[in-house]
Each structure stands twice: as structure tokens, then as C-alpha cells.
Amino acid sequence: MHRPNLVMVESTESTQDMAGKMAAEGFPSGAAVMALRQTRGRGRSGSEWISPPGKNLSLSVILRPVIEIRHAPLIGMLASIAVATVVDLACEPYQAFLKWPNDVLIQNRKIAGILSEARITDSSLEFIVLGVGINVNSSVDDFPVEMSDSLTSMSIITGRTFDLRITAERFLEALGELIARVETEGPSFVPSVWEKRWAHKGHSLVRDGIKGTATGIDSDGALLMKLPGGEIVRISSGAILAT
């Protein structure tokens, strides 16, 4: 994967929608768009991604991996690994960890989220658009009061201000190296690499009122949860609460 082309715009409704249109028009794998301001940014499960203009990284990148459809979720997990790498470098000596499926945490607070949307045609994966939101220069006052204890930023952690374009380029470089590995050996390495940063392995989890223990990540990115009776269940979507 060559060094991605990065388009930077002042404002757009959604970098995800913009990149999706670019992908449909034939833009190559690795092409990316970042915006200083989003008016309708979105996160996973239809939630809104709120970010003050000009402070944080809002970016979407087009990928065209040659993988089986069932492995598409691994690309979102791959992106979270790339984000964690960038956060580690910026916030040293603090280390980033991951929350399933692809949130990035530092000091047990969320610093980034990833939205992965795939286009499937004729039973094959045509492309994936990865939306990446990283809290780079937000202050505590930028977060909703009810979420101030659960969110953080690179600036809050370090007391420094970061260049958004350089942060974007570092993420794309880290992602490019991981995608190159997928192209040469397939995506089977992703779960084990992701688990090394998993914040909740072995922890008690709750999903839809059902409690269990996080035991692993399956080959397609599904979370494996052990129930009190010993049964292992696969979770491929939905909100997970760590207890």
C-alpha cells in the first residue's frame, strides 16, 4: 500500500459520506479525507460524533482489501491498532488500550472511536470506508458534562498541542503498514495483535443483561464470552459493558 493521498477540507457534513462517494467513484485504496469541521459526523450504531471545530482529527480512509467478507470487521480492529500506535507515540509514557470492537482508551478513558462501513456487491467486498475520530486537542470543557469523566484527549494527557495533519499522516502510515501485512499474509494475525492491547480480557462483561467473562477474539473479530455455566458465546455486534 503506497503512502495514502490525503485531502483536507475546512468543513463537510461527514467525512464518512464524502469518502464513500469518492470510493464509489473509483478512488484508490489509501485515499483519505479529513475535515476541520463536521456538521453531521457520526459514530457507531447511529450515534453522533461531536467534536469542536479545528481541535480534533476527523478522517475517513478508503480501503480495498482482498479478503473474505466475514473478515471485514478485522479491518476496523486493524484501524484501532494503528490509532493506538499513534496515541502511544504522542502520549508516552502512557499506553493506549482497546475496547471491543474498536474504541481506543488511555488512562481508562476513551480517546478515539472508529466506524467501519463496507460495500458488498455480488457477494464480494468492494471497499471499506473507515471513519476515525481522535480527540487530539480537546480540553475538558469541550466535552459534555455528563461525559467529562469518560473522555480524554492527547492534549489533556500531555499538556501539549498537536498538529492535526501530522497526526493524520502518522495514523495513515501506521495503518498502511498493517494493511501491507494483510496483503502479504492475510488478516489472521489481527485478533492476536489486537488482544495484546485489549483492556478487558478476563474481565466480567454484560451484554443485554447477560453476564460473562471476556475470553478471546475469534478469527473473524467476534468477541468470545464465557457464561457462568461454561458455555462460550460469540458476540459480533452490540454494546458491551465492562464491570
Going from N- to C-terminal start, the domains of the chain cover 6-195, 204-242
Return d(Cα 185, Cα 154) in angstroms, integer: 33
Q: How many angstroms separate the Cα of 20 from the Cα of each of 5, 118, 130, 182, 223?
A: 15, 9, 9, 22, 27
Rounded mean pLDDT, 173-190 = 96
Residue 1 predicted with pLDDT over 50: no
CA dihedral 5, 181, 191, 91 (to 10 degrees): -50
pTM above 0.75, yes or no: yes
Superfamily of domain 6-195 in the CATH hierarchy: Bira Bifunctional Protein; Domain 2 (3.30.930.10)
Q: Express as a percent the part of the chain with pLDDT over 70.
A: 94
**Rounded to 5°, angle at Cα 25 from 34 and 126:** 90
Question: Taking 60 as the threshold, does the pLDDT of residue 43 lie above it?
Answer: no
Express each pLDDT in 82-135 by its tens digit: 999 999 999 999 999 999 999 999 999 999 999 999 999 888 899 999 999 999
| pLDDT score at 227 | 95
> From CA 102, how far away is CA 104, in angstroms rounded?
6
Name the 3-class secondary structure at 182: helix
Question: According to the model, what pLDDT value does residue 50 have?
Answer: 65
Secondary structure class of 150 (helix, strand, coil):
coil
End-to-end CA, the chain: 40
The answer to whether 100 touches 240, Cβ cutoff 8 Å, is yes
Question: What are 50-76's pLDDT values in tens digits?
Answer: 678 889 999 999 999 999 999 999 999
Helices (H), the chain: 15-24, 73-91, 154-158, 164-185, 190-195
Does 204-242 match 6-195 at the fold level?
Answer: no
Distance CA 233, CA 235 (A): 7
Domain 204-242 has CATH 2.60.40.10: no
